[in-house]
């Protein structure tokens, strides 16, 4: 018997129909990633499974028990599930240990010493064994989210629901939370994961659901969805080019803001580490090179840099437009270090001067 069976699930808010007769079966041990544009119903779908949102129609059966049935013991059925939200929702007035022990002692009848032993084991697995006595407000966002995952695991659920668990985190903290989910995947934990992290969805899931038009528009293996989508909207979503822009008007630009923005963009859209490093270095050298030769404090010129990434073929591109004096960095008699780096790393380099502006493109 399947662990999760959903039939004909519908949900509307006023005149807006969000879910329209959605069907889904999930087997025990299966990891299912859910992707799609913002507002397509992904989070509403998870909330309907736990009855945090009451469906207008259809049924949800979890481990043989229908949570949507009239007279169902909803609280008891919910205990077989755990949900990790975008925000951490830890009890701010309780320390980490008390946050973890509260539910299993009150709802499962565990003795406090049993609950603490279970909590310490879980904290050790996520690298936070030394944080048991700390209050939530002194923890980073990534640490709080790892604690929130441990809190779910304290109830020994059969199904975990993740509602964009990294969306509220700074880019530097995303990896530590994804590492915990990877660990759970290796242990065959049954999971539904709503995520915008495409590379992570490809890596960790057995099946990917693309949501559109009020339900599951297309589903398949990660390779099928990301490399060979069959339907128009899926292909358009997967191939959509993501971009990041940065603007400056002086050689004294904010390098940390540029570097941090490029890395956050790359991590958001699953750009691999090697290409991310190359993107950061090329962006830095391009901006330095153009600002140094095209403008100065006496003759400022606006510069706009755009980094784009196409998920379909994983192609990364840097486009830079800068006013001021014409300057082609790729045709200088003596290349500086920056130009040498660009020529070495760039797969394709182009330059043009049009309408009083320098146009430079580097394709990696």
Residues with Cβ within 8 Å of residue 253, at least 6 apart in sequence: 287, 291, 303
Helix%, strand%, coil% for the chain, nearest 5: 40, 25, 35
β-pairing verdict for 241-248 and 303-310: antiparallel
What per-residue confidence (pLDDT) applies to 278? Answer: 87
Question: What pLDDT tens digit does each residue of the chain (364 aa) get?
Answer: 699 999 999 999 998 999 999 999 999 999 999 999 888 999 999 999 999 999 999 999 999 999 999 999 999 999 999 999 888 889 999 999 999 999 999 999 999 999 999 999 999 999 999 999 999 999 998 899 999 999 999 999 999 999 988 877 776 677 788 889 989 998 999 999 999 887 788 888 999 999 999 999 999 999 999 888 999 899 888 866 567 788 887 777 788 888 888 888 888 777 888 888 888 888 888 888 888 888 766 666 788 888 888 765 567 888 888 888 888 888 876 566 767 877 888 778 888 888 888 888 888 8
Q: Which of 162, 173, 93, 171 is nearest to 140 (CA)?
A: 173
Q: Which of 76, 333, 19, 44 is nearest to 192 (CA)?
A: 44
CB 96 within 8 A of CB 134: yes
Residue 98 burial (CB < 10 Å; 0-12/13-18/19+)? middle
What per-residue confidence (pLDDT) applies to 152? Answer: 95
Please state, in angstroms and as integers, the Cα–Cα distance from residue 290 to each residue in 64, 303, 345, following that order. Answer: 64, 8, 18
What per-residue confidence (pLDDT) applies to 149? Answer: 95
The DSSP output letter for 136 is: G
What per-residue confidence (pLDDT) applies to 292? Answer: 83
Q: Which of 66, 145, 153 is nearest to 108 (CA)?
A: 153
Q: Which of 259, 325, 266 is nearest to 296 (CA)?
A: 325
d(C-alpha 187, C-alpha 291), whole Å: 52
Please state, in angstroms and as integers, the Cα–Cα distance from residue 222 to each residue in 24, 26, 197, 202, 235, following that order. Answer: 17, 16, 13, 5, 13
CB 48 within 8 A of CB 123: no
């Amino acid at each position: 018997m399947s662990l999760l069976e959903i039939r004909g699930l519908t949900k509307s808010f006023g005149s807006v129909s969000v879910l329209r007769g959605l069907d889904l079966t999930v087997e025990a041990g299966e990891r299912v990633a859910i992707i799609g544009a913002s507002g397509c119903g992904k989070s509403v779908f998870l909330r309907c499974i736990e009855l945090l949102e009451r469906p207008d129609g259809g049924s949800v059966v979890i481990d043989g028990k229908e949570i949507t049935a009239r007279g169902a013991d909803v609280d008891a059925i919910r205990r077989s599930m755990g949900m990790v939200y975008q925000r951490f929702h830890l009890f701010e007035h309780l320390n980490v240990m008390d946050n973890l022990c509260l539910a299993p002692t009150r709802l499962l009848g565990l003795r406090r010493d049993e609950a603490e032993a279970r909590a310490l084991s879980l904290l050790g697995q996520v690298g936070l064994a030394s944080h048991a006595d700390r209050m939530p407000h002194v923890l980073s966002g990534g640490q709080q989210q790892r604690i929130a995952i441990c809190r779910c695991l304290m109830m020994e659920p059969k199904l975990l629901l993740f509602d964009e668990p990294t969306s509220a985190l700074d880019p530097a903290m995303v990896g530590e939370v994804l590492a915990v989910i990877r660990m759970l995947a290796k242990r065959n934990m049954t999971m539904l994961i709503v995520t915008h992290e495409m590379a992570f969805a490809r890596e960790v899931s057995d099946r990917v659901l693309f949501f559109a038009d009020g339900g599951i528009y297309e589903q398949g293996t990660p390779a099928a969805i990301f490399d060979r989508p069959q339907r128009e909207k899926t292909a358009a979503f997967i191939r959509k080019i993501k971009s990041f822009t940065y603007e400056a008007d002086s050689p004294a630009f904010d390098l940390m803001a540029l570097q941090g923005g490029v890395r956050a963009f790359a991590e958001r859209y699953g750009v691999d580490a090697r290409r991310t490093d190359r993107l950061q270095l090329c962006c830095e050298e391009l901006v330095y090179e153009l600002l140094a030769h095209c403008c100065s404090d006496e003759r400022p010129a606006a510069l706009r840099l755009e980094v784009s990434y196409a998920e379909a073929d994983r192609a990364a591109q840097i486009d830079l437009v800068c006013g001021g004096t014409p300057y082609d960095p790729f045709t200088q008699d003596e290349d500086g270090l920056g130009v040498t780096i660009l020529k070495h790393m760039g797969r394709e380099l182009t330059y043009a001067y049009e309408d009083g502006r320098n146009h430079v493109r580097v394709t990696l």
